[in-house]
Amino acid sequence: MTAQLIDGKSIAASLRQQIAQRVNERRQQGLRTPGLAVILVGSDPASQVYVSHKRKDCEEVGFLSQAYDLPSETTQEALTELIDRLNDDPAIDGVLLQLPLPEHLDASKLLERIRPDKDVDGFHPYNVGRLAQRIPLLRPCTPKGIMTLLESTGVDLYGMDAVVVGASNIVGRPMAMELLLAGCTVTVTHRFTKDLAGHVGRADLVVVAAGKPGLVKGEWIKEGAIVIDVGINRQDDGKLVGDVIYETALPRAGWITPVPGGVGPMTRACLLENTLYAAETLHS
């Protein structure tokens, strides 16, 4: 058996097309164009690439895009003032603070400063809390994108044993809550977990978001399981690989996401989806 690929690139392209169509309809109705402000502090190369992709996505769907590229020595006070201004700007529906930040900045305080109805990354404690309470509003982008990928398979997740590898605030923890909402029995594993292979081997669905290349071996995967690989790691030869050993997982899994071209494009598409949702539902 060879796994069926879950093509995040094509699913994300379709989602962007739907968003662009809706933005065009809003224009024809005389409604405001959704606006996204992206704040980048410093010159981290990976962050610069991510931000350029996000701005390109905004152009593609017709959003108003505001860019704030700030020097690495920017102070906490200056960033707080900028966020406050964007919170009060009626043309802006989403405020995105690109992580990681320079060490002298307190990311938690800055993320909490973003108004919850403009927190299109879904990181604010208010939005995470709503997800935990089963009344999500703006959902964290990567877990939300993964749920869209899972829906595309047509597989009923209800009652499945799901294992999340990684317990970060950005992916692992909200992912577990999304899977609980979908009716899965969820186990969250992390770097202190004993017998990781055993947990993975019992799972009908595995979401791996640990940031460690090749952490999950293909032979651990249960026959026919769904494998979602969130990891994106650049090797010395420049090749991008995930947290799962793809070549050995492929013949065992029922469905699998490639790296690249799996989860990454969906994270970006769901940022746009959240921004449109904020414009239409929260700021109408």
User: Active-site residue 121, yes or no?
Assistant: yes
Given this model, what pLDDT does residue 191 score? 84
Homologous superfamily, domain 30-117: Leucine Dehydrogenase, chain A, domain 1 (3.40.50.10860)
Given this model, what pLDDT does residue 1 score? 74
- For 141-264, the fitting CATH number among 3.40.50.720, 3.40.980.10, 3.40.640.10, 1.10.10.10 is 3.40.50.720
User: Active-site residue 109, yes or no?
Assistant: no
d(CA 137, CA 118): 11
pTM, two decimals, is: 0.96
- pLDDT tens column, 100-124: 999 999 999 999 999 999 999 999 9
Query: How many angstroms from the chain centroid is the CA of residue 45?
Result: 19
Q: Is 65 annotated as a binding residue?
A: no
- pLDDT tens column, 200-227: 999 999 999 999 999 999 999 999 999 9
Q: Is 91 annotated as a binding residue?
A: no
Task: Render 204-250 in DSSP notation, one character per residue.
Answer: SEEEE-SS-TT-B-GGGSPTT-EEEE---EE-TTS-EE-SB-HHHHT
Mean pLDDT over 33-43 rounds to 98
Least confident of 35-39, 179-183, 235-239: 235-239
Q: What are the residues facing 227 on neighbouring strands?
A: 206, 256
Given this model, what pLDDT does residue 179 score? 99
The amino acid at 102: P
> DSSP secondary-structure letter at 201?
H
Question: What is the rounded average pLDDT for all residues in the chain?
Answer: 97
User: Active-site residue 98, yes or no?
Assistant: yes
